[in-house]
Structure 1
Amino acid sequence: MRIYTRKGDQGQTSLIHGQRVPKNDLRVEAYGTCDEANSVIGLALSFLDKEEWSEKDAFLDQVHRVQTILFHVGAELATPNDKEVTWKLKQKHIDELEKQMDVWDKHLEMLRNFILPSGHSASSALHMARTVTRRAERTVTALNEQEEVNPLVISYLNRLSDFLFVAARYVNQSLGGTEIPLKADV
């Protein structure tokens, strides 16, 4: 399969089912930002020892599942409203995030104040993925003001950013990274 098609050379791209839209269309921005978040999650995982982390609470399995679902969320966003979505986000996907956060949270020190994104490289990359996910959520919210979006997509992205925050803390603590508390006086 050839990667390049030359069809986007004039600033247009195709949604699922072939509808052409400008590359700066809000729908394209929404699924593109989900793709960006997914890539940053992949970057975070590249800093972890695969053998150690595949056994640790099935961390890699959990995060790879999130990446897969996030890819499908992007596909759902790339499908025009008048076309059938072949895969739809469900409440169970949000519930899975919450359940996993509860498991990891039991191992974490209670937060007493805000923390700066820092520590181990994997943790810092997960914090970056969290901020990209928040941008995706804002973009999808703006898209939803123009045309209807599955409300579970907004909820999933909101919960995913929380999930990535907890994952970043879990990784940081597991690898001996330091959480730097936010100082009120600057």
Structure 2
Amino acid sequence: MGHRLSKIYTRTGDAGETGLADGRRVPKDHPRVEAMGEVDTLNSQLGLLLAGLAEQEGMWPGLSELIEVLAPCQHRLFDLGGELAMPVYQALNLAEVQRLEAAIDRWNEELGPLENFILPGGSQLVAQAHVCRSLARSAERRCQQLNAVEPLTGVGLAYINRLSDLLFVAARLIAKRMQINEVLWKAAPKPENY
């Protein structure tokens, strides 16, 4: 294993800058740091989703497959964070994107077509999957903002895009396998003269 943290605080960031793994010091609101932060937030929330799935797995065995597919995503998000911290480092590969696509296709086949817009709710687990999905979209936007300033190499942008799609489908699959009704969107009534 590489570096070990022997000291948690260094005081080097007290002036609003942080160090990247390539030795550069950048402001804490630099697009690279923003992207790293969004990926980290997503990873933390994904951990919460996985903990919730593990708690319910005994009662709902159909959740085991979701855990098997989603658990490696935490590791890959950490890899993506490494790529963002070290621009020349490449950890993700196309096989990871394809793994997510295969799960999306498999789960979508079980779910069938989406016939209405759905809201993030119905249960805490379904809502948490949607929190992760929305954070994946946010991380994707931050990575794209960085890409506009400092072009990214590798498949990181594709991975985070597919992960958000996977999390949307996962939210629906959790509802189906736990026999929870999805919360369907109801449009506001239109004014009479509309």
TM-score (norm 2): 0.86
The answer for the alignment partner of 1:72 in structure 2 is 79
For each residue in 1:75-116, what CA deviation from the matched residue of structure 2 results, as whole angstroms up to 9, or x when unmatched?
101113xxx31x422111110001011222232243101111
1:103 aligns with: 106
Percent pairwise identity: 40
Provide the C-alpha distance between the structure 1 equivalents of 2:37 and 2:182, rounded to a whole number of angstroms.
31
1:31 maps to 36
Structure 2 equivalent of residue 149 of structure 1: 152
- Figure out how many residues of one structure are paired with residues of the other and give that number: 182
The answer as to 2:161 corresponding to 1:158 is: yes
1:55 Cα deviation after fit: 7.2
Q: 1:6 to 1:54 in 2, by over 3 A?
A: farther
Distance in 2, Cα, partners of 1:150 & 1:16: 17
1:151: how far off?
5.2
Contact in 1 for aligned 2:63/2:174 (Cα 8 Å): no
Matched with 2:66 is 59
- Deviation of the 1:168 alpha carbon: 0.9
Given that 1:35 and 1:71 are in contact with CA atoms closer than 8 Å, whether structure 2 keeps it comes out as yes
Matching residue within 166, 173, 176 for 1:173 = 176
- Which residue of structure 2 lines up, in the alignment, with residue 132 of structure 1? 135
User: 1:75 & 1:95 partners in 2: Cα distance?
Assistant: 21
Identify unmatched segments of 5+ residues in structure 1: none
**CA distance in structure 2 between the partners assigned to 1:145 and 1:106 by the alignment:** 36
Superposition deviation, residue 47 in structure 1: 1.9
2:3 counterpart residue number: none
SS at match of 1:13: strand
Residue type of the partner of 1:73? L
* Larger displacement relative to structure 2 (48-57 or 115-124): 48-57
Q: Which has the larger radius of gyration?
A: 2
Match in the other structure for 2:18? 13
Q: Which amino acid aligns with 1:157?
A: I
The question of whether the paired residues in 2 share the 8 Å contact of 1:123 and 1:171 is answered with: yes
Q: Which amino acid aligns with 1:170?
A: L
Corresponding residue SS for 1:48:
helix
Give the drift of 1:57. 4.9
SS in 2 for 1:61: helix
Normalised TM-score (structure 1): 0.89
CA pair 69-75 structure 1, distance change in 2 beyond 3 A: same
Tell me the amino acid that sits aligned with residue 181 of structure 2. Answer: T
Residue type at the aligned position of 2:68: D
- For 2:48 and 2:161, the matched residues in 1 are separated by 21
Say if 2:129 is the partner of 1:122: no
Aligned-CA RMSD value: 1.9
**Structure 2: runs of 5 or more not aligned:** 1-5, 190-194
Q: 1:4 to 1:55 in 2, by over 3 A?
A: farther
Listed one character per residue, the Cα deviations across residues 30-68 of structure 1 (whole Å, up to 9, x for unaligned) are 011011111111111222244537874532122110111
After TM superposition, give the deviation of residue 164 of structure 1 in Å.
0.4
| Structure 1 counterpart of 2:187 | 184
